[in-house]
């Protein structure tokens, strides 16, 4: 049946059918859709909590990784001092994780230099020079013709390789020189320049030389100002020579950085314990989303066991509590910095070995939980996401059926209105006929 262009609900019956239909549909939604929405909300809350726990466990795993790999014990501080000057203006020092402790006195006697040669002055850079002859640089020949300009000669030189480069310098108006510079510093990289005809009358402005420095009284030469083979794991960048000034360089273990890493580990573990406590705590009338979850209880139990475990080390160094990391009654960890520093000072090898062994076992377990795709928590969240997806499909299906039912009810009420209209029309006709008959009978 075609729906009228204009539709007024209850025009004949004086009933608001739209309101009646909406109330009926709302009842159907409460019966069919609301339970699904409530279930979906509960699953989303669980999913959010598992993802939050996964992030916390991944962070703890990253903290354990530093101890497992030994990186946490390989942090060093560079102490650089000099009297009366800023030592950073003379050298820069950087370290790698392979650096070793040590103390050194440095005196920078000279910087490494690259060879620099300059030609005689020419009056033009773009006009033919009228020169003919041969130029050799490190055995490589450049043929000079009378048509060559200073620019073309520069370009010919620069096609010969990367060991040297030519450029043109404008000294003043109408005066140009050809500058030839070696690309590497050091005496071994001095340029072998031959100008048999004396076409350019080259002069050596800067001679190639090695860097020269004195280390603890020993004179040392290097071809570069970047020196990375003087001390293990240490790179020194020479910035300027300063004969007569001694720089004091000390490389020492950065225990502050190690302490910070342990504190970060303890903090990360305690955040996870707080998560457990929150989910397992009971409040009257309130049920936490993960309160009875067996997986969560298993994770809590395993983490506690790994923290309390004894490892294969001498007695007194086979559990974390001996180096100041202790488990409290509420499940959290405390860290006694002074105890740890005393143990690290007296027994550095056993102390670091203990942290590495505990972290290795902890990391291996956390890998099983947090590894993408195959980790237990990834599987857990994946299952919840699929459940939510199925509920969304059910909600969409029910919404579709409810809309169809709404349309069916609307059509039924329209038909009822039309039937009522016909009945009213018949009633009106009968009333008129009765009135006419009554008048005629008089």
Asked if residue 306 and residue 222 are part of one domain, the reply reads no
Sorting pLDDT into bands at 50, 70 and 90, what band is 97? confident
Taking residues 59-64, report their average pLDDT: 94
- Tens of pLDDT, residue by residue over 168-225, are 999 999 999 999 999 999 999 999 999 999 999 999 999 999 999 999 999 999 999 9
- Tens of pLDDT, residue by residue over 329-377, are 999 999 999 999 999 999 999 999 999 999 999 999 999 999 988 899 9
For residue 136, tell me if it sits in a domain.
yes
Taking residues 136-164, report their average pLDDT: 95
CA distance 143 to 368: 70
Asked if residue 216 and residue 246 are part of one domain, the reply reads yes
Taking residues 379-385, report their average pLDDT: 93
Asked if residue 337 and residue 276 are part of one domain, the reply reads yes
Q: Which domain holds residue 426?
A: 17-32+381-440
Number of structural domains in the chain = 4
For residue 193, tell me if it sits in a domain.
yes
Asked if residue 329 and residue 287 are part of one domain, the reply reads yes
Give the chain as a 3 state SS string. CCCCCCCCCCCCCCCCHHHHHHHHHHHHHHHHCHHHHHHHHHHHHHHHHHHHHHHHHHHHHHHHHHHHHCHHHCCEEEEEEECCCCHHHCEEEEECCCCCCEEEEEEEEECCECCEEECCCECCCCCCCCCCEEEEECCEEEEECCCCCHHHHHHHHHCCCCCEEEEEEEEECCEEEEEEEECCCCHHHCCCEECCCCCCCCEEEECCECEEEEECCEEEEECCCEEEEEECCEEEEECCCCCCCCEEEEEEECHHHHHHHHHHHHHHHHHHHHHHHHHHCCECCECCCCCCCHHHHHHHHHHHHHHHCCCCCCCCCCCHHHHCEEECCCCCEEECHHHHHHHHHHCHHHHHHHHHHHHHHHHHHHHHHHCCCCCHHHHHHHHHHHHHHHHHHHHHHHHHHHHHHHHHHHHHHHHHHHHHHHHHHHHHHHHHHHHHHHHHCC
List all residues 6 or more positions away from 101 whose beta carbon is below 8 Å from its beta carbon.
76, 251, 252, 253
Identify the CA nearest to 270 among candidates 335, 367, 318: 335
Asked if residue 270 and residue 357 are part of one domain, the reply reads yes
For residue 225, tell me if it sits in a domain.
yes
Asked if residue 230 and residue 86 are part of one domain, the reply reads yes
Sorting pLDDT into bands at 50, 70 and 90, what band is 74? confident
Residue at a domain's end among 206, 226, 241: 206
Asked if residue 221 and residue 101 are part of one domain, the reply reads yes
List all residues 6 or more positions away from 26 whose beta carbon is below 8 Å from its beta carbon.
none
CA distance 179 to 81: 39
Per-residue pLDDT at 285: 67
- When comparing pLDDT for 431 and 295, which is higher? 295
Predicted confidence (pLDDT) at residue 415 exceeds the cutoff of 80: no
- Tens of pLDDT, residue by residue over 259-304, are 999 999 999 999 999 999 999 887 766 788 888 889 999 999 999 9
Question: Where is average pLDDT lowest: 166-170, 330-334, 377-381, 431-435?
Answer: 431-435
Sorting pLDDT into bands at 50, 70 and 90, what band is 12? low
For residue 96, tell me if it sits in a domain.
yes
Asked if residue 358 and residue 270 are part of one domain, the reply reads yes
Question: Where is average pLDDT lowest: 63-77, 113-127, 201-215?
Answer: 63-77
Per-residue pLDDT at 369: 94
Asked if residue 199 and residue 156 are part of one domain, the reply reads yes
Sorting pLDDT into bands at 50, 70 and 90, what band is 17? confident
What mean pLDDT, rounded, does the chain reach? 90
Per-residue pLDDT at 155: 96
Per-residue pLDDT at 207: 96
- When comparing pLDDT for 28 and 183, which is higher? 183
Sorting pLDDT into bands at 50, 70 and 90, what band is 3? very low
- Angle 348-370/294-308 helices, nearest 10 degrees? 170
Taking residues 319-327, report their average pLDDT: 94
């Amino acid at each position: 049946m075609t729906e009228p262009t204009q539709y007024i609900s209850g025009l004949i019956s004086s009933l608001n059918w739209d309101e009646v239909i909406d109330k009926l549909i709302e009842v159907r939604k409460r019966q069919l859709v609301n339970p699904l929405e409530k279930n979906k909300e509960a699953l989303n809350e669980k999913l959010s909590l598992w993802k939050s726990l996964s992030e916390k466990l991944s962070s703890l795993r990253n903290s354990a990784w530093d101890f497992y790999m030994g990186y946490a014990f390989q942090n060093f501080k560079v102490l650089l001092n000099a009297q009366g000057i800023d030592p950073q203006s003379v050298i820069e020092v950087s370290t790698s994780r392979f650096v070793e402790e040590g103390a050194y006195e440095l005196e920078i006697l000279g910087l490494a230099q690259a060879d620099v040669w300059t030609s005689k002055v020419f009056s033009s850079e773009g006009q033919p020079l009228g020169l003919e002859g041969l130029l050799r640089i490190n055995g490589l020949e450049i043929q000079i013709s009378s048509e060559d300009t200073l620019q073309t000669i520069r370009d010919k030189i620069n096609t010969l390789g990367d060991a040297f480069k030519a450029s043109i310098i404008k000294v003043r108006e109408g005066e140009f020189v050809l500058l030839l510079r070696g690309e590497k510093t050091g005496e071994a990289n001095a340029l072998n320049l031959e100008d048999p005809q004396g076409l350019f009358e080259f002069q050596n402005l800067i001679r190639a030389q090695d860097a020269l420095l004195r280390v603890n009284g020993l004179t040392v030469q290097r071809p570069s100002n970047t020196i990375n083979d003087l001390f293990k794991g240490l790179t020194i960048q020479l910035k300027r020579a300063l004969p007569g000034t001694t720089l004091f360089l000390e490389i020492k273990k950065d225990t502050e950085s190690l302490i910070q890493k342990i504190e970060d580990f303890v903090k990360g573990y305690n955040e996870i314990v707080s998560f457990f406590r929150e989910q397992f705590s009971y409040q009257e009338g309130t049920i936490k989303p993960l309160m009875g979850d067996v997986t969560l209880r298993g994770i809590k139990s395993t983490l506690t066991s790994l923290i309390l475990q004894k490892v294969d080390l001498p007695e007194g160094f086979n559990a974390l509590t001996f180096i100041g990391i202790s488990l409290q009654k509420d499940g959290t960890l405390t860290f006694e910095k002074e105890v740890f520093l005393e143990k690290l000072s007296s027994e550095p090898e056993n102390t670091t070995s203990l942290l590495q062994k505990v972290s290795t076992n902890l990391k291996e377990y956390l890998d099983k939980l947090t590894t993408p795709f195959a980790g237990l928590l990834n599987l857990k969240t994946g299952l919840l996401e699929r459940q939510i997806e199925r509920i969304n499909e059910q909600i969409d299906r029910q919404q579709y059926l409810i809309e169809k039912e709404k349309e069916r009810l609307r059509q039924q009420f329209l038909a009822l209105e039309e039937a009522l209209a016909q009945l009213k029309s018949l009633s009106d006709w009968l009333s008129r006929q009765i009135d006419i008959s009554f008048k005629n009978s008089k």
